[in-house]
Structure 1
Amino acid sequence: MTTETIDVRKHNREAWDRQVSLGNRWTQPVAPEVIAAARRGEWSVVLTPSKPVPASWFGDVAGKRLLCLAGGGGQQAPVFAAAGAKVTVLDNSPGQLGQDRLVAEREGLELRLVEGDMRDLSAFEDGSFDLIFHPCSNSFVDTILPVWREAFRVLRPGGVLLSGFTNPVIFLFDPELQDKGVLQVKYKMPYSDFTSLTEAERRRYTDKHEPLCVAHTLQDQIGGQLDAGFLLAGYFEDKFEKGDLVAEYFDSYIATRALKPVTP
């Protein structure tokens, strides 16, 4: 199984649909009290596992055209809508979009839901959005440079891209030893669940119906945004609060705030 012999998008769409049925943390819709608080102007969201995104990264979202890019799951998008934003959600998983629909119908919120590939935003015209919120999700595609180029295109001049992603270093370690409390380097970069594992190793994930990941380099994650034309205007690191051995040694998740210049 390689990226040449498997449809990455199809595999991960089906895997995330399965995760919805299993109640994965990132598929659980927000509670009514979260929406009620957002309507009062009291809200926060995450791009990474734990740390809330600074409010200053958003400004006032009321009336803004906001795209949740690969951000389904009934979590951030309904909060933005309750806070007054005009929200579109693009996600590869119909199940994840269904969680957003569930909250929208329950709370009387307006959300535009689009099933699609984060690498292809041809459904949207140039300059369609004021803000793009892109939580940790681009490890589920095999290339991310098109993601940054498309995000740049569909943002208006002066628009903002907020992104979360993994530090690729976390993919270097032997996962079986990691479960036993040992960090030992096993894999080389560039790492991919599709190309770096034996079939037996890959079944560790596929038998549990988990999505498969690709470890994109920081050059592609950060440098790719700059090459697309963005200016980096904010940065922080994060980790899982507990249950992650790597987190005992370093913060392995990254969030960036990038601006599309008003003039080229």
Structure 2
Amino acid sequence: MDITEYNRMSWNNQVDSGDQWTQPVDSATIAQARADKWHIVLTPTRPVPRNWFPPNLKDKKVLCLASGGGQQGPILAAAGAKVTVLDNSDKQLDQDRFVAKREQLDIETIKGSMTNLSMLADETFDIIIHPVSNVFIDNVLPVWKEAYRVLKTGGSLLAGFTNPILFLFAEEAVEKGPLEVKYPIPYSDLKHLPSEKLAELQQKKEPLAFGHTLEDQIKGQLDAGFVLSGFYEDQSGYDSQLDSYISVYIATQARKLG
């Protein structure tokens, strides 16, 4: 299976279904951003600390990496940044274009995979925003290497990702219990789901997910050349059994020091 193409189609379907991460921000949110009263998320609920950003975003070049949906990109553009949004989903990019047209924002959109930024020059961006999305690819290491390449020296990569502990359990157990370890890490829907469950997800055009090791998520950034300078955890934001025990989302700030 071509997982990039399958998940592109699936995220187009998520837009049609009204998934929360496909809902464009409203005009009031953009007005607040223009008044320097803004926040964005990398993970489900916790805002990114403002001290992870420069005091003034004016003319800062920001890449929203696998971050379509009309949310982070338009907010940062309204705050003064020069924003490029790259996403694999055509319809997710449509959401950014929709907000840009409605609010008269200048946002560049690029359809492409987070693992291949060959259309972008070295040392182009001051900041890269990469919210939880690498869960939908089978190898995260190219993401960190490409992000390092296109980031300017002194720039920051702000990334959100899933704690792999989430993938130890069947989805229905996470939602309703009991929590019994079922799957190994690294995890793949393609390799580890029962065939009937995988067929059900495909029939519903649901995105397929991968649970990456913390070594790939964190050491992968270090091996690419980054220095970690910020870290926090977050919960799911819905009634998950795991939220009672552990936060299953992670955000990191990593710098390219040269």
Same fold, judged at TM 0.5 (above)? yes
Call closer, same or farther: CA 1:39–1:102 in 2, change over 3 Å: same
Amino acid at match of 2:236: F
**Deviation digits for residues 73-128 of structure 1, max 9, x if unmatched?**
00010000000000000000001000000000000000000000100001110001
Q: CA deviation at 1:176?
A: 2.9
Match of 1:228 in 2: 224
Q: How does 1:200-219 map to 2 (within 5 A)?
A: 200-219=196-215
TM-score with structure 1 setting the length: 0.95
* 2:148 is the counterpart of 1:157: no
* 2:34 is the counterpart of 1:39: yes
Between the aligned partners of 1:205 and 1:253, the Cα distance in structure 2 is 23
SS of equivalent residue, structure 2 residue 33: helix
Between the aligned partners of 2:148 and 2:128, the Cα distance in structure 1 is 10
* 2:21 is the counterpart of 1:26: yes
SS of equivalent residue, structure 1 residue 150: helix
Q: CA deviation at 1:188?
A: 1.3
**Deviation digits for residues 163-197 of structure 1, max 9, x if unmatched?**
00000110111223334331111111221001111
Match of 1:3 in 2: none
Amino acid at match of 1:196: H
Call closer, same or farther: CA 1:159–1:177 in 2, change over 3 Å: closer
* 2:11 is the counterpart of 1:8: no
**Over aligned residues, Cα RMSD in angstroms?**
1.0
Match of 2:121 in 1: 125
Amino acid at match of 1:235: F
Between the aligned partners of 1:145 and 1:126, the Cα distance in structure 2 is 18
Match of 2:87 in 1: 91
Q: CA deviation at 1:62?
A: 1.4
* 2:185 is the counterpart of 1:189: yes
SS of equivalent residue, structure 2 residue 101: helix
Amino acid at match of 1:54: P
Query: Number of matched residues?
Result: 257
Unpaired runs of at least 5, structure 1:
1-5
Match of 1:56 in 2: 51
Between the aligned partners of 1:57 and 1:221, the Cα distance in structure 2 is 19
Between the aligned partners of 1:175 and 1:111, the Cα distance in structure 2 is 36
- Asked if structure 1 preserves the Cα contact closer than 8 Å seen for 2:176 and 2:241, the reply is no
**Deviation digits for residues 2-47 of structure 1, max 9, x if unmatched?**
xxxx001000000000000000000000000000010011000000
Amino acid at match of 1:32: S
Amino acid at match of 1:56: N
